[in-house]
Homo-oligomer: A and B are copies of this chain.
Amino acid sequence: MAGGKGRRSRRREKGSEAFVRSIKFGRLTHWIGFNLRMAQEATFAAFSRRSYKIGESPGRFATLTLIGLNPGISQTELSLANGRDKSSLTPVVEDLVRRGLVERRRVDHDRRTYQLSLTPSGRKTLAEMTRCARLHERKLDRIVGRKNRPGFVRLLQKIAAEIE
């Protein structure tokens, strides 16, 4: 969380040492919002590094998972489920289609919508990413601890649901 030792610093410190000043976070350190952000960003970064190793991005994982769970889903539904604007999805889907992971079909009874589904190759990639995600999740599990986990998740869900 970006802190160090180094008491006063501030003054010269010319010689060697090159002290890292200890940054103050004040009451921020007790705020729920602040800690939520810190935890989420650290977690996201860790997962990013993991997915990077298998050549995908966290966003692709979310998208593939949702398509896998909901074959035939439309782009608008997907954007809602994903919490992203539908316009953000256009290039993502394009990319996935281009790379042969996702298939778009026009439907006869409504020629505006696409139905998205995974190709065999997409399913294979998703399986790989899922394994990777499970490792990540297991690490989180260990950090939180079996005993605390249910209450912790419940609170997260409560926040997501109730924070206007």
Inter-chain contact A41/B83, CB cutoff 8 Å: yes
**Cβ 8 A contact of A30, one of B77, B151, B153, B158:** B153
Smallest distance from the beta carbon of A146 to chain B beta carbons, Å? 12
Inter-chain contact B21/A159, CB cutoff 8 Å: no
Encode contact with B along A16-31: 1 for CB under 8 Å, 0 otherwise.
0000110111101011
What is the count of identical protomers in the complex?
2
Chain B contacts of A133 at CB under 8 A? 31, 33
A36 within 8 A of B: yes
Chain B contacts of A83 at CB under 8 A? 2, 38, 41
Q: Place the interface of chain A in its size category.
A: 35 or more
Q: Which 3 A-B pairs have the closest CB atoms?
A: A40-B40, A35-B156, A39-B156
| Secondary structure dominating the interface of A | helix
**Which A residues fall within an 8 A CB radius of B?**
1-2, 10, 12, 14, 20-21, 23-26, 28, 30-33, 35-44, 46-47, 49, 65-66, 69-70, 72-73, 77, 80-81, 83, 109, 133, 136-137, 139-141, 143-144, 148-149, 151-153, 155-164
Inter-chain contact B39/A152, CB cutoff 8 Å: no
Smallest distance from the beta carbon of A142 to chain B beta carbons, Å? 9
Chain B contacts of A41 at CB under 8 A? 83, 160
Residue of B nearest to A142 (CB): B162
